[in-house]
């Protein structure tokens, strides 16, 4: 018996080459709707999603994002609302805020994959420049850009040869003798 959720988790890949075909606005909205279901610490929802499918904005966003290999037709920038976080008593460097960014990104990427769209996360960008390009409100700190687009038939080779990791390679049981 197949499990569609596990199948989606196993078949998702980072897409680093995208066609010029736009992603429908309704599809982007479905992806964003999935994102709001991502779990957050204390159900606080301190992440903000800044979206663009505007070609000129995407072009400049790519110029200030060295990690953006692909040319996306839409992008969701996940930000942390630091002002809201401070009101909860979070220190600026609190790790939990970034865990929630990762959880949101994973949820968005799975939703994107399930809709037949490619996604590629980018964390190498100038936060200062991205803030200017997207006109972010004070206190919104960009943490990750999720590039969206239709996957091109040919993808660039990955960073290093693909390793076949087993879950056991990443796991330690406690106690170890059971």
Residues that bind other proteins (CB under 8 A): 16, 63-67, 69, 124-126, 128-129, 156-161
Question: Least distance (Å) from other proteins to the CB of residue 146?
Answer: 17
- By beta-carbon proximity to other proteins, the closer residue of 11 and 154 is 154
Nearer to other proteins, 60 or 84 (CB): 60
Residue showing tokens 């769209």: 117
Report yes or no: 73 and 23 within 8 Å, Cβ to Cβ: yes
Least spacing, CB of residue 172 vs other proteins, in Å: 24
Q: How far is the CB of 60 from other proteins (least distance, A)?
A: 8
Between residues 28 and 80, which has the closer beta carbon with respect to other proteins? 80
Judge contact between 100 and 42, C-beta under 8 A: no
């Amino acid at each position: 018996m197949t499990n569609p959720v596990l199948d989606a988790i196993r078949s998702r890949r980072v897409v680093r080459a995208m066609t010029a075909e736009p992603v429908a606005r309704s599809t982007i909205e479905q992806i964003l709707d999935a994102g709001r279901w991502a779990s957050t610490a204390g159900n606080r929802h301190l992440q903000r999603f800044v979206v663009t499918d505007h070609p000129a904005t995407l072009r400049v966003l790519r110029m200030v994002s060295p990690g953006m290999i692909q040319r996306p037709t839409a992008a969701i920038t996940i930000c942390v609302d630091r002002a809201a976080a401070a009101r909860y008593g979070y220190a600026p460097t609190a790790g939990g805020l970034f865990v929630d960014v990762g959880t949101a990104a994973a949820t968005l990427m799975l939703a994107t994959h399930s809709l037949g769209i490619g996604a590629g996360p980018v964390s190498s960008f100038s936060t200062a420049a991205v803030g200017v390009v997207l006109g972010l409100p004070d206190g919104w700190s960009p943490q990750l850009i999720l590039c969206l687009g239709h996957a091109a038939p040919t993808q660039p080779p990955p960073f290093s040869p693909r390793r076949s990791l087993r879950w056991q390679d990443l796991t330690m049981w406690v106690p170890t003798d059971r």
